[in-house]
Amino acid sequence: MLALMVNNRRYELDIEPETPLLWALRDEIGLTGTKFGCGIAQCGACTVHVDGVATRSCQLPVAEAAGKKITTIEGLAGDTLHAVQQAWIAEDVPQCGYCQSGQVMAAAALLAANPKPTDADIDAEITNICRCGTYPRIRAAIHRAAAMASR
Amino acid sequence: MNAPLLSRRSFIVAGLSAAGGLAVGFALDGTAQALPIAAQPWTPEGKPAGEINAWILIEPDDTIVIRVAKSEMGEGIFTALPMIVAEELECDWSKVRPEYASPNRNVVEHGVYQQMGTGGSRSVRGSREFLQQAGASARARLIEAAARRWNVPASECMARASKVLHEASGRSATYGALAAEAAAVKLGAEPAIKSPDQYKLIGRPTARLDTPVKVTGEAKFGIDTRVPDMVYAAVAACPVFGGKLKTFEEAPIRGRRGFVGVVPLDGAVAVVFDRFWRAKEALKALPVEWDIGEAAKTDSAQFCALYREALDGPAATARNDGDADKAMGSATKIVEALYEVPHLAHAPMEPLNCTAHWTADRVDVWMGTQAPDRALALAAEAGGVKPENVFVHNCFLGGGFGRRAVNDELKQAVLVSKAVGKPVKLVWTREEDIRHDRYRPQAALRFKAGLGADGMPVALNLRTAVGSLLRSLGMGKVENGIEPSAVEGLANTQYRSPNIKVDCVLKNTHVPVMFWRSVGSSQNAFAVESFIDELAHAAGKDPYLYRRALLSDRPDFVNVLDTLATKGDWGKPMPAGSGRGIAIHEAFGTIVGEIAEVAVSKTGEVRVERIVAAIDCGHVVNPTTVAMQVESAVIYGLTAALYGEITIKDGRVEQGNFDDYPMVRMADAPHIETHLALSGGKKWGGIGEPGTPPVAPAVTNAIFAATGRRIRSLPIKNENLSGA
């Protein structure tokens, strides 16, 4: 058995240790907010936080995630929505929405490490793919979330 | 383990209870509150009390459920279509909750939801009038129900914000209280619908109703479906299109944990396990032999030659004004150019998937589809059950762009479920998605113009050689060698010339082709708008003013061009190595013009810095989603222009994932501005696609302005612009 801490809850999983964290989250635990997009850590739809660091879960064996604090999109909000989620709503970011869990998680990790990112920081750190082309609104929403947090 | 599973029966119950109360989520202020949309946006089967008509259900708590018979794939239809109904219904917008109309009911009630397919940027313009009528009719019946209750003439009552009011007596009743009575009212005559000057909601920037569930991970896409006893399938099709499955050997994977079975399919094989990861890994270890056939000897270079040569062969004529061949002889100057575009994959973010539960007398499928009607018919055929016993539960679509209009994955899932006797979630990997798409066709276009002494074209000959989508899909008939999408933007070009000839050669290879966002306009606008730019330069004229002169018969085009030139700073100086390019195109009833600002570095790197768009779609339902769709269409077209290329070697696709089929990402994304230049009147244009066609030529025209290099073949990445 393998113990996983996800969104402050402990799960005991009887799975192969090489299973990517993505599939443990989606198919074992049933947290389907984290998405499968490419399987090779290219697109970022599967982004979660592992000990606070944005991580593409499709390439992380579940055994390596054991003992670490994992946060998924379902666990990002506290009593209120996370500033990034609020900014996403205010800027009308999502279209199809499929990549947005990963985008939100990537942005939240960026802001945790860098509360006032520049456009260049955003270009360098937000590399997730969105086929609907929501990038301009994601950029605006990150700046908005940064401003909200500094108020 | 902790997530709710939907059984077929509990799905129905869950659906009913969802209709009876809103899903709960977070509000902006952080308090738990009702979400405007359920995470699982399916309509329950059956007719609850309070259903005024097939489109509108009013709950006792005044929730207004509006059925949406089109697919939400990002274009915002779950907000726009309810706005159209609500405009006439005079209901409280904050109480509106959209959900999908039932494709099964559309079969049982003989097309009560009309045609449910989403495509051709048609949802608003194709359903606006009957949705307005449904809203107006429901309003009139609510008023009639109140009038009967109060024993007053209906003409003395009015509807406002989900209430019927009788001002003379000061009485009022909520829609929720009146709904059951209104459902029984039969009107003598249908009420008239509003004219645009009476709109209060249509035209107002409105927050999308599906946003909250899409920032919390709650929104359910097809791939998120979970039903009890479900197993998972990974699938591999023959790497060469049209090939057959010869043999496979089950033994090496039979002993693996969670093995359920291996199912041979038409030209494919599915591996079924209790978990997707296990299925996907086992598929790699499954020995398979394919009968790949003659197509395995083909490659992209051959196709390139094929389409070029086809331009010299016999062609069907799609338009013939005057005598273009003769008029060429009298021209002062002849300009000729060959344009080429490659195959393109759609690559929606959500890989294709379908969950199917087959039983002998009923089939259920959960998926995101652009064509629920066709999906239902396909499931009935594949499952051997009657259409009225098929239930397609449409989910949010993780992108469509045309790919989800034909559901290859559904047929596979139904057959696999039938073979293993369990509900199956079948998921394509990204590699399967890229290598087994139905692609935007490869094409070659050769244009010839004769310019008069004033530099204006006295003759135009536009000739295309391209794959037929209809032949490839086995849908419909190609009449006289011409397919409307192949000549879209060519045969109906609005550029004025007394002599115009448009020729079309349809030629298919073994590579399947289909609708790709903006369809034929995606290649034709690139060629036409590049060519017009070339003609302007050959004539020594400004590309904006040249277009303006050739389009002067169309005031709506001129208005878009003028708005574009003003907002896009046309003519303002730019630094060395930078340039502006302009392009304009009409498709799906809408005109979009775009100006691209591009910088080309000394080492040849192209950077698209800004795109300014001007659009005339006649009327706008939701300006918020119109801007979003233009941004989306621009980025989608930009990915194709800069990088997009599916190539064939040994009969199979060379690319497989986002590492070798690259996408525009944040760092490549230009600043985008959208300006409305609306002509109103009878025009209701589409919005999902028309922003895509002008991007590529605006960018290549800008590269020409910056460097003097004319790019006639896409994608741009293949061009060496260093030292330009």
For chain A, say whether B348 makes contact (Cβ under 8 Å): yes
Q: B157-171 b/e with 16+ CB inside 10 Å = b?
A: bebeebbbbbeeeee
Q: Please report whether residue B1 resides in a domain.
A: no
For residue B187, give the 3-state DSSP assignment.
Answer: coil
Q: Taking a C-beta distance cutoff of 8 angstroms, is the pair B34, B24 a contact?
A: yes
Boundary residue ending a domain (B427, B450, B482) = B427
pLDDT at site B542:
98
Map tokens 């947005």 to a residue: A100
- Measured between beta carbons, the chain B residues lying within 8 angstroms of A134 are 628, 631-632
The question of ipTM being above 0.85 is answered as: yes
Residue B19 has pLDDT above 70, yes or no: no
Q: Please report whether residue B284 resides in a domain.
A: yes
Taking CB atoms and an 8 Å limit, are B74 and A139 in contact across chains?
no
For chain A, say whether B285 makes contact (Cβ under 8 Å): no
For chain A, say whether B669 makes contact (Cβ under 8 Å): yes
Residue B417 has pLDDT above 80, yes or no: yes
pLDDT at site B23:
43
Q: What is the DSSP string of B4-65?
A: PP--HHHHHHHHHHHHHS--EEE-TTS-EEE-SS-SS-BPPSS--TTEEETTEEE-TT--EE
Residue B16 to chain A, least CA–CA distance (Å): 23
pLDDT at site A151:
75
Q: Are residues B712 and B609 in the same domain?
A: yes
Shortest CB distance from A96 goes to which of B3, B349, B351? B349
Q: Taking a C-beta distance cutoff of 8 angstroms, is the pair B351, B483 a contact?
A: no
Which one is predicted more confidently, B508 or A1? B508
The average pLDDT across B116-134 equals: 97
The average pLDDT across B369-395 equals: 97
For residue B715, is the peptide bond before it cis, meaning its omega torsion is within 30 degrees of 0?
A: yes
Taking CB atoms and an 8 Å limit, are A32 and B217 in contact across chains?
yes
Residue A66 to chain B, least CA–CA distance (Å): 18
pTM above 0.90, yes or no: yes
> Which residue of chain B is at minimal alpha-carbon distance from A79?
B30
Average pLDDT, chain B: 94
Taking CB atoms and an 8 Å limit, are A36 and B223 in contact across chains?
yes
Test mutation, A82, A96, A129, chain B, max B CBs within 10 A: A96
Q: Are residues B608 and B659 in the same domain?
A: yes
DSSP annotation of B339 = E
Taking CB atoms and an 8 Å limit, are B657 and A38 in contact across chains?
yes
Distance between CA atoms of A32 and A20, rounded to whole angstroms? 14
Q: Are residues B339 and B370 in the same domain?
A: no
Q: Taking a C-beta distance cutoff of 8 angstroms, is the pair B398, B626 a contact?
A: no
- How crowded is residue B151: how many other Cβ atoms within 10 Å of its Cβ? 6
Q: Minimal CA–CA distance to B419: which of B224, B286, B268, B283? A: B268
Residue B32 has pLDDT above 90, yes or no: no
pLDDT at site B42:
66
Residue A48 to chain B, least CA–CA distance (Å): 12
pLDDT at site B312:
97
Residue B289 sits at φ, ψ, to 5 deg, of -115, 135
> Taking the alpha carbons of B418, B420, B424, B428 in that order, is the dihedral positive or negative?
negative
> Which residue of chain B is at minimal alpha-carbon distance from A20?
B277
Q: What is the DSSP string of A45-105?
A: TTEEEETTEEEEGGGSBHHHHTTSEEE-GGGT--SS--HHHHHHHHTT--SS-TTHHHHHH
The average pLDDT across B194-199 equals: 96
Residue B615 to chain A, least CA–CA distance (Å): 18
- Measured between beta carbons, the chain A residues lying within 8 angstroms of B76 are 95
pLDDT at site B37:
66
Q: Are residues B531 and B473 in the same domain?
A: yes
- Measured between beta carbons, the chain A residues lying within 8 angstroms of B3 are 29-32
Q: Minimal CA–CA distance to A111: which of A143, A77, A79? A: A143
Residue B12 has pLDDT above 70, yes or no: no
Distance between CA atoms of B265 and B253, rounded to whole angstroms? 18
Q: pLDDT tens digits for B534-580? A: 999 999 999 999 999 999 999 999 999 999 999 999 999 999 999 99
Q: Minimal CA–CA distance to B28: which of A83, A95, A111? A: A83
Distance between CA atoms of B460 and B496, rounded to whole angstroms? 9
Q: Beta strands of B241-351 (E only): which ranges?
A: 244-248, 259-265, 268-273, 288-291, 316-321, 333-341
Distance between CA atoms of B269 and B416, rounded to whole angstroms? 10
- Chain B window 493-532: which residues touch A at a Cβ cutoff of 8 Å? none
- Chain B window 101-140: which residues touch A at a Cβ cutoff of 8 Å? none
Contacting residues for B10 by C-beta, under 8 A, at least 6 apart: none
Distance between CA atoms of B562 and B560, rounded to whole angstroms? 6
Q: Are residues B421 and B455 in the same domain?
A: no
Residue A77 to chain B, least CA–CA distance (Å): 8
Residue B3 has pLDDT above 60, yes or no: no
Q: Please report whether residue B432 resides in a domain.
A: no
- Measured between beta carbons, the chain A residues lying within 8 angstroms of B517 are none
Phi-psi region of B654 (alpha: psi -120 to 50; beta: other; left: phi over 0): alpha
Test mutation, A131, A137, A144, A148, chain B, max B CBs within 10 A: A131
For chain A, say whether B24 makes contact (Cβ under 8 Å): no
pLDDT at site B22:
36
Q: Please report whether residue B2 resides in a domain.
A: no
- Measured between beta carbons, the chain B residues lying within 8 angstroms of A79 are 30
The average pLDDT across A33-41 equals: 98
In this structure, the strands spanning B64-68 and B96-100 are: parallel
Q: Please report whether residue B723 resides in a domain.
A: no
Q: Taking a C-beta distance cutoff of 8 angstroms, is the pair B508, B471 a contact?
A: yes
> Which residue of chain B is at minimal alpha-carbon distance from A35?
B350
Taking CB atoms and an 8 Å limit, are B277 and A23 in contact across chains?
yes
Q: pLDDT tens digits for B78-115? A: 999 999 999 999 999 999 999 999 999 999 999 999 99
Q: Minimal CA–CA distance to B531: which of B694, B697, B692? A: B697
Q: Are residues B454 and B580 in the same domain?
A: yes
Model confidence at B24, pLDDT cuts 50, 70, 90, reads: very low
pLDDT at site B478:
86
pLDDT at site B623:
97
Q: Are residues B211 and B228 in the same domain?
A: no
Model confidence at B225, pLDDT cuts 50, 70, 90, reads: very high
Q: Please report whether residue B648 resides in a domain.
A: yes
Q: pLDDT tens digits for B589-637? A: 999 999 999 999 999 999 999 999 999 999 999 999 999 999 999 999 9
Distance between CA atoms of B611 and B593, rounded to whole angstroms? 10
Distance between CA atoms of B288 and B335, rounded to whole angstroms? 53
Residue B716 has pLDDT above 60, yes or no: yes
The average pLDDT across B291-301 equals: 96
Distance between CA atoms of B352 and B438, rounded to whole angstroms? 12
Range of the domain at B255: 222-293+352-427
Boundary residue ending a domain (B184, B215, B246) = B215
Residue B28 has pLDDT above 80, yes or no: no
Boundary residue ending a domain (B215, B244, B273) = B215
> Which residue of chain A is at minimal alpha-carbon distance from B657?
A38
- Measured between beta carbons, the chain B residues lying within 8 angstroms of A30 are 1-3, 226
Residue A100 to chain B, least CA–CA distance (Å): 6
Crossing angle of helices A135-150 and B623-642, rounded to 10°: 120
> Which residue of chain A is at minimal alpha-carbon distance from B611?
A136
The average pLDDT across A137-141 equals: 98
Residue B40 to chain A, least CA–CA distance (Å): 13
Shortest CB distance from B628 goes to which of A74, A92, A100? A92
> Which residue of chain A is at minimal alpha-carbon distance from B217?
A33
Shortest CB distance from A132 goes to which of B74, B223, B278? B74
Q: Of all residues in chain B, what percent carry a pLDDT higher than 90?
A: 92
- Measured between beta carbons, the chain B residues lying within 8 angstroms of A129 are 349, 658, 663, 665
- Chain B window 606-645: which residues touch A at a Cβ cutoff of 8 Å? 624, 628, 631-636, 638
- Measured between beta carbons, the chain B residues lying within 8 angstroms of A41 are none
Q: Please report whether residue B433 resides in a domain.
A: no
Taking CB atoms and an 8 Å limit, are B399 and A88 in contact across chains?
no
Contacting residues for B189 by C-beta, under 8 A, at least 6 apart: none
The number of domains in chain B is 3
SS3 string of B104-130? Answer: HHHHHCCCCCCCCCCCCCCHHHHHHHH
> Which residue of chain A is at minimal alpha-carbon distance from B670?
A136
A with B: how many residue pairs have Cβ under 8 Å apart? Answer: 198
Q: B658-675 b/e with 16+ CB inside 10 Å = b?
A: beebbbbbbebbbebbbb
The average pLDDT across B282-293 equals: 97
Q: pLDDT tens digits for B621-634? A: 999 999 999 999 99
- Measured between beta carbons, the chain A residues lying within 8 angstroms of B210 are 94, 97
Q: pLDDT tens digits for B242-281? A: 999 999 999 999 999 999 999 999 999 999 999 999 999 9
Which range, of B9-23, B33-47, B114-128, B611-625, averages the lowest pLDDT?
A: B9-23
**CATH number of the CATH domain containing B479:** 3.30.365.10
> Taking the alpha carbons of B103, B107, B113, B114 in that order, is the dihedral positive or negative?
positive
Distance between CA atoms of A44 and B544, rounded to whole angstroms? 41
Q: Please report whether residue B537 resides in a domain.
A: yes
Residue B662 to chain A, least CA–CA distance (Å): 10
Q: Minimal CA–CA distance to B688: which of B617, B614, B596? A: B617
Residue A43 to chain B, least CA–CA distance (Å): 7
- Measured between beta carbons, the chain B residues lying within 8 angstroms of A96 are 72-74, 348-350, 396-400
Q: A67-87 b/e with 16+ CB inside 10 Å = b?
A: ebebbbbbbbbeeebbbbbbb
Q: Are residues B211 and B317 in the same domain?
A: no
The average pLDDT across B331-355 equals: 98
Q: Are residues B322 and B364 in the same domain?
A: no
Taking CB atoms and an 8 Å limit, are A30 and B226 in contact across chains?
yes
Q: Are residues B590 and B685 in the same domain?
A: yes
Q: Are residues B281 and B394 in the same domain?
A: yes
Q: Are residues B546 and B692 in the same domain?
A: yes
Q: Taking a C-beta distance cutoff of 8 angstroms, is the pair B533, B543 a contact?
A: yes
Q: Which domains does chain A have, with CATH numbers?
A: 2-75 (3.10.20.30), 83-150 (1.10.150.120)
pLDDT at site B477:
82
- Chain B window 42-81: which residues touch A at a Cβ cutoff of 8 Å? 72-76
pLDDT at site B200:
96
Taking CB atoms and an 8 Å limit, are B348 and A94 in contact across chains?
no
Residue B29 has pLDDT above 50, yes or no: no
